[in-house]
Amino acid sequence: MQINRSIAVLASVFLSLAAVCVPARSAGVDDAVKAGVLKVCSPGDYKPFSFALADGRFEGLDVDLMDALAGSLGVKTEFVKTSWAKLMDEFTGGKCDVAAGGISVTLERQKKAWFSTAYMVNGKTPLVRCTDVTRFQSIEAIDKPGVQVIANPGGSNERFARANFKTATITIFGDNIGIFNEVLSGRADVFVTESAEALVQQKLLPGLCAVNPDKPLQYGEMGLMLPRGDVVTKAYVDQWLHLIKANGEYQRIAARWLN
C-alpha cells in the first residue's frame, strides 16, 4: 500500500515537472487538417516574402507558398499578424501551425523551433544610397566612426548589425516599412538585410542600391518555421517543398515576386 502511494506521488511529481519543462508548442499539419484551417504566423512587413495589406489580406512569395501548402492539405489559409520581436513567443505559444514571411534559419531560432528544408539561399546585403555603393563594400568599410547603421528590431537583421558593427552607430527603427526612407533621406547610411529584400527595394525606391547582392556579407537560408518535435509536420512540409520544386510550381511562384 505504501509502495503504491509512493509511486503515485512520484508520478504526480514527474508529470508536474514535465508540464514545467516542456514548452508550449504550436500545432502542426494534423491539427490544421482537423480544423480545416492552416494558421500561419507572419510579421507581414517584409517584401517580397510577406506583406500585410490595409484590408487585412497578405501578399508575397511566402503567402503564395502557404496557400499552396494549405491546398495540398485540403484546407484554407489563415494568416496571423505578428512582429519579429514577438514571432517566436507567439509561435511556440500555439497561435499558429507554421510561421512564414522571409524567416532566416538561425541556430538561435532552432533551439525553440524546427525549420523546413531551406527553400532559398538569401544572405545579408547592405542597402545604401546609390552614391555610396563604392563606399560601403564590406563590413570593415561600414563599421567606421560616423556611419549610421539602421536595423529593424527582433530579427536576424538586428543580430547581424550588433554582432558586426562595433564602431558605427546603430539605430533600431521599429517600422520595417519606413526604414528604407530613412536611408534614402540620409538619416541613416546603411541597412543590412537579405539580398532579396534589398533587390526589391532598389526597384521600388530609385536612389537606393543593393551592394553586391550576389556576394552577400553573410550566408543565409530561408525556411518555414515548424513546431519543434513534430516529425509528421517536418516530413510532410519537406516532401511538399521537394515536389513543388521538382514540378516547377515553386519556380513559378518565386518568379512572380523576385523578377
Give me 20's grid cell.
514545467
Q: Is the pLDDT of residue 182 over 80?
A: yes
Domain boundaries, the chain: 24-121+221-258, 124-210
What is the tens place of the pLDDT at every residue in 215-232?
999 998 999 999 999 999
Summarize the confidence of residues 35-42 as an average pLDDT: 96
What's the first-to-final CA gap in the chain, in angstroms?
73
Q: For residue 27, what pLDDT is reported?
A: 64
Q: Is the pLDDT of residue 26 over 60?
A: no
Summarize the confidence of residues 185-212 as an average pLDDT: 95
Q: For residue 175, what pLDDT is reported?
A: 85
Q: For residue 12, what pLDDT is reported?
A: 46
Strands 190-194 and 124-129: antiparallel
Q: Is the pLDDT of residue 100 over 50?
A: yes
More confident residue, 229 or 20: 229
Q: For residue 258, what pLDDT is reported?
A: 87
Domain covering 124-210 in this structure, CATH number: 3.40.190.10
- The model's pTM: 0.76
Q: Where are the beta strands (DSSP E) in the chain?
A: 37-42, 45-46, 50-52, 58-59, 76-81, 98-99, 114-115, 120-121, 124-129, 148-151, 169-172, 190-194, 208-210, 221-222, 225-226
Neighbours of 31 (CB within 10 A): 17
Query: Which helix (DSSP H) or strand (DSSP E) does residue 22 occupy?
Result: none
Q: For residue 1, what pLDDT is reported?
A: 46
- Considering the domain delimited by 24-121+221-258, tell me its CATH architecture: 3-Layer(aba) Sandwich (3.40)
Is residue 146 very low, low, confident or very high in pLDDT (cuts 50, 70, 90)? Answer: very high
Do 24-121+221-258 and 124-210 have matching folds? yes
